Amino acid sequence: MTIGKRIKELRKVSGLTQAELGAKIFRSKSIVSKIENDEVELLPLVRQAICTVFSVREEWLLTEEGEKYTASPPTEKPKPVETSPHDDFVFIRQVNGKISAGGGLVPDDTADLQCAFRKDWLKKKGGKPDNMSLIKVEGDSMDPTLLSGDLVLVDHGRNYIAHQGGIYAVSIDHEIMIKRIQVLHEKEKIRIISDNKKYDPIDIDLDRVKVNGRVIWYARELER
């Protein structure tokens, strides 16, 4: 089976149309069709995006050898959600800025903090509560958009970078950072942007960056 046929099979099993897959990997429906028919070269950036969408290993996609899916042991995922006494709400838990050996975020046992969110509001955002967590911002690199100590709500289901970029939780060398991210398609790199102008943007190779999720909300204490 060719790479294109493997991608086509993954797409069908996932219930995605060619247009829907194209939107996730920043390509048109016609390009997805050509990829599935092995008519175009599969660029590293596109290949990585496809692996992220379907949670498969790059080695398997290229050779059909080794483990097919990326490891995601349940014990390594945060457990952010507890049912609220009121059925309209769920609680989402804070995690810290570290990742476990398997790539999951580590719950912050030093801060017994959970925030209640309305289920209908989260549904409008398109995310699932059990795939979200709260992370505390550290440092001044995102001033004035986000201040040190702010809490951000991260949707880990959005672990791919939107075409227009955005603010994401990314891990570089096993540390979680909240940064504005932009994809540099021509250079096959990701640009890490700090909203604080005293910090210069940094361009990093794709294989050094893991996107943990997109920031969709934040909260700030008025007195600290």
The pTM of the whole model exceeds 0.75:
no
**Domains 3-63 and 74-219 are alike in CATH topology:** no
Which fold, 74-219?
Answer: Umud Fragment, subunit A (2.10.109)
Write out the chain's pLDDT in tens, 224 residues. Answer: 899 999 999 999 999 999 889 888 878 889 999 999 999 888 888 888 899 889 998 889 999 888 888 855 333 344 444 444 457 888 888 887 654 434 455 555 455 577 889 988 998 888 788 888 898 888 899 999 999 889 999 998 888 888 888 999 988 877 788 999 998 887 888 999 999 999 999 999 888 888 889 999 999 887 65
Phi and psi of 174, rounded to 5°? 70, 15
Residues whose CB is less than 8 angstroms from the CB of residue 176 and which lie 6 or more positions away in sequence, other chains included: 96, 97, 98, 99, 105, 135, 169, 170, 212
Helix (H/G/I), strand (E/B), else coil: 82: strand
CATH of domain 3-63: 1.10.260.40
Domain boundaries, the chain: 3-63, 74-219
H helix or E strand, kind and range, residue 217: strand 209-219
Give ∠ CA 27-179-188 in degrees, rounded to 5: 40
